Structure 1
């Protein structure tokens, strides 16, 4: 069962403000920030209550696009209790209402993919997004966020990418998160789900498949890239090795966020968390030479992912590495610069 944990909501505002204002007006974010005093209780002053109130105002004003963004922050950072899960369901409802006005072709689809080994399967809800009129045989790019920013939350980024590149996006939530939170996040389980999505992607396009992952999504993109199972892999702020070393702590409530994604039913002890994390270390894949083309990007001042996890790719065959100065996790405050690099690289690698 999910669990709640001690968390100061103002810490989240301090860290996530640049991300919040990517999808919502800055004055609205500031107004919510001014009245939120506690994280978990669903009452005035509570995180989920105040963000949901903003979402309801946008829904009543006929702006389901903004309502979906606000509900996305209401359920942030984890589906740890009932009010958060309700907020996610309302986000999905508003997102579907907003979809007819998207400037891209959009389809919501549920796929059945292998899970758990043997003949086991699971359902994963994905979104397909593409520029209008894109040919059916266009390349397909899998894309996901991380443990707390999911496919609907990153809508604006996906739209810009779909309009900038002649590729079809297949957007999904990692196991342990969002609409795939019915599964725990495990190295092999997550890799198995993604392998099923890669296979589906090859069947719906011309065969060319890439994988773009942000934060923990970047970890799984590093797995597919290092293993050579996709034709192009982009890792933005992905933890790959030192992030999982024993003795590392967490900032901004990430211990509870990750603990929920991993399937714990209470805040894990340091030993429990470190034991679970040890299996995510990608050193065995880093020691191989099977990778396809890869682009690895992050901010130099990341408090979550050590610089090593970006720089370890330096000098690898068919791999470009960029550590951007003056920005932090996933280069969020320089997202425009990061996306220029990523878009140009994907165009060169998957299209030209």
Structure 2
């Protein structure tokens, strides 16, 4: 189930430009920005068309990693129609072609995990610094509802070189290559529990979980339940973000509505009903958490500040607010990672 919704592409460029230029040359992003005039039609001036044209040029020249980045923006922000799904398939194709030149050890694998009384399969990526022993910690890591495991490759690569741990990268249910599973609190938690079990058996028994944005919601869950040995929550919604009547900026209602499995633009009441189940207050009221690091920018337009400060004063929990930056501290991302990487390293070694 999926749907398109009214969305001005100019707004997406305003919000995501710093992220776009992390992986692609500024002049190329600027050229696409100047060419795009509409969001959904697959024709000149359309978002998917212009980004895909850039990607195809890189693919034709054998620049597969850049092609994967550009196709990643072509399918952004949601797999709401066939052109977006085609762009995702081409992104995966180009990413696999780029993999032999990655400076890290890399493996693409399909895992089967328990799901709603049966099984679910999902593609994951395993990444580590060259020569890392098998008996090392494993860190689950994911992005959110619109930035997925392949989109964030550059960040994962840097983290792999920093950590004496193997990264297990996955897409949340309702997103990316796991879009066939709807995003609900329980379905996501069940899938992640299966990944945690795999990770414990695959490494030295120590498991961390690093979640970004909506991924941070699920890493907050594993941290609050103590099911992992180290939990990092970067820009994760946990309570106030799901309050009734609260809207999202920059088209996020449509992005989230697609991830939740709606087949048309959800009403406010429908979103409120779906969000009610996500509220982590019952877990926040308990005292079972493992070691946690909770980080965000102070100017987040998506996640209220209280969803970060609510963790202050908990045992085994460190809270860091980065000033003058927004959701997931994206414009000061280096500072965020300078906190996260050493904390993960030390906590998993403890």
Is the structural similarity TM-score above 0.5? yes
Partner of 1:221: 219
Partner deviation per Cα, 1:114-139 (whole Å, 9 max, x = no partner): 111x3x11101100000011000100
TM-score, length of structure 1 as denominator length: 0.99
Partner deviation per Cα, 1:294-336 (whole Å, 9 max, x = no partner): 0000000000000000000001000000111000000000000
Matched, 1:141 2:142: no
Whether the 8 Å CA contact 1:175–1:190 is kept in 2: the answer is yes
Partner of 2:241: 243
Partner of 2:90: 90
Partner of 1:271: 269
Partner of 1:18: 18
Partner of 2:332: 334
Whether the 8 Å CA contact 1:226–1:290 is kept in 2: the answer is yes
Partner deviation per Cα, 1:154-206 (whole Å, 9 max, x = no partner): 00000000001110000000000000000110000000000000000011101
Cα distance in 1 between the residues matched to 2:315 and 2:122: 33
Partner of 1:177: 175
RMSD: 0.5
Cα distance in 2 between the residues matched to 1:242 and 1:203: 36
Deviation at 1:351, TM superposition (A): 2.6
5 Å-filtered alignment, 1:37-186, equals 37-116=37-116, 118=117, 120-186=118-184
Whether the 8 Å CA contact 1:166–1:351 is kept in 2: the answer is no
Deviation at 1:62, TM superposition (A): 1.1
SS across alignment from 1:128: strand
Partner of 1:205: 203
Cα distance in 2 between the residues matched to 1:130 and 1:351: 16
SS across alignment from 1:125: strand
Q: Name structure 2 gaps, 5 residues minimum.
A: none
Partner of 1:230: 228
Cα distance in 1 between the residues matched to 2:79 and 2:247: 22
Moved over 6 A (4+): none
Cα distance in 2 between the residues matched to 1:2 and 1:162: 34
Whether the 8 Å CA contact 1:144–1:171 is kept in 2: the answer is yes
Cα distance in 2 between the residues matched to 1:338 and 1:29: 24
TM-score, length of structure 2 as denominator length: 0.99
Matched, 1:35 2:45: no
Q: Name structure 1 gaps, 5 residues minimum.
A: none
Partner of 2:300: 302
